[in-house]
Amino acid sequence: MNEATYLRSGKAKDIYQRPNGDIVFVFTDRVTAFDGLKKAEYTDKGAICCKLSCFWFKKLEAAGIKTHFREFVPPNMLVAQDLDILPVEVIARNYLYGSLWRRSQRGEVEISSEFISEGTKRAEGTPLARSYVEFTTKFEKVDRPVTKDELIANGWMDHSEIAFLTTTTRRIGELMSAYLSTKEVILADFKLEYGRCKKCGEIILADEVGTPDVCRFWDKRAYETRGEIRSLDKDVFRQEKGDLSEVYRAVYTRIVE
């Protein structure tokens, strides 16, 4: 890190650049919620998220998903290709939960029969027939959902790129869910970021993936046997359900080992 140049800090990561152009993400123990209004630090959180993200990048690349991942530098650094990060985050929701549930209750979003079959009881925590993929802003003070029309009008991407991101995000979700199911973990929803290759313009997976910072993980047995949503992610911090370090260590062990 002595030769790397500091670029900026995000909510949970510090970002540097090596002389060869590669980006170094330093995963910190910082944790935030509610658009940064709630903040804290938890021991080992950064190292756990870094190792999990590297684990998933390798697994996804083996399945043919192109990513920015270069290498893992223990204990908490991820080296990646430098990309032009898209100004949006992509969120895939597999359950009617969180902000999607709240917005549907307020009538701000309609969940069609494509996602919930007619006659199915709509309640918080109801599984969706397929992933509900949506886009939110990334660089605004408060992230907000954006429509496809707005994405195109702002020049952020075109129709084919929106379709590519939607399809790729769903495929990533399918790959992750299939693996996590064998570990008794439900992938309720997850957030991804993508970037463009500076040389060729190709869009590839970026930032971090598959960590409890950017995914909602639920205990599968508790959900299927008792209908209980037992969080294995940052909701533990948001809702003050327990010690975040303890939960993150446990979910890391369950997923990787």
**Domain locations along the chain:** 5-80, 86-243
Confidence class for position 139, pLDDT limits 50, 70, 90 = confident
CA distances from 217 to 4, 11, 62, 79 (A): 34, 20, 23, 25
- Euclidean distance between the first and the last CA atom of the chain, given in angstroms as a whole number: 30
Question: Which pTM value belongs to this model?
Answer: 0.96
Closest by CA to 187, choosing from 84, 94, 71, is 94
Arithmetic mean of pLDDT, 72-90? 97
pLDDT at 159: 96
> What homologous superfamily is domain 86-243 in, according to CATH?
ATP-grasp fold, B domain (3.30.470.20)
CATH for the 5-80 domain, from 3.40.50.970, 3.40.50.620, 3.30.200.20, 3.40.718.10? 3.30.200.20
CA distance 117 to 129: 7
Say how far apart CA 219 and CA 217 lie, in whole Å.
7
Count of CB atoms within 10 A of residue 26's CB?
19
Q: What tokens appear for 14 in the block?
A: 């510090």
Model confidence pLDDT, tens digit, residues 186-202: 999 999 999 999 999 99
Q: Is the pLDDT of residue 1 over 70?
A: no
Residue 140: pLDDT over 90: no
The whole-chain average pLDDT of the chain stands at: 95
As a whole number of angstroms, the distance between CA 83 and CA 221 comes to 39
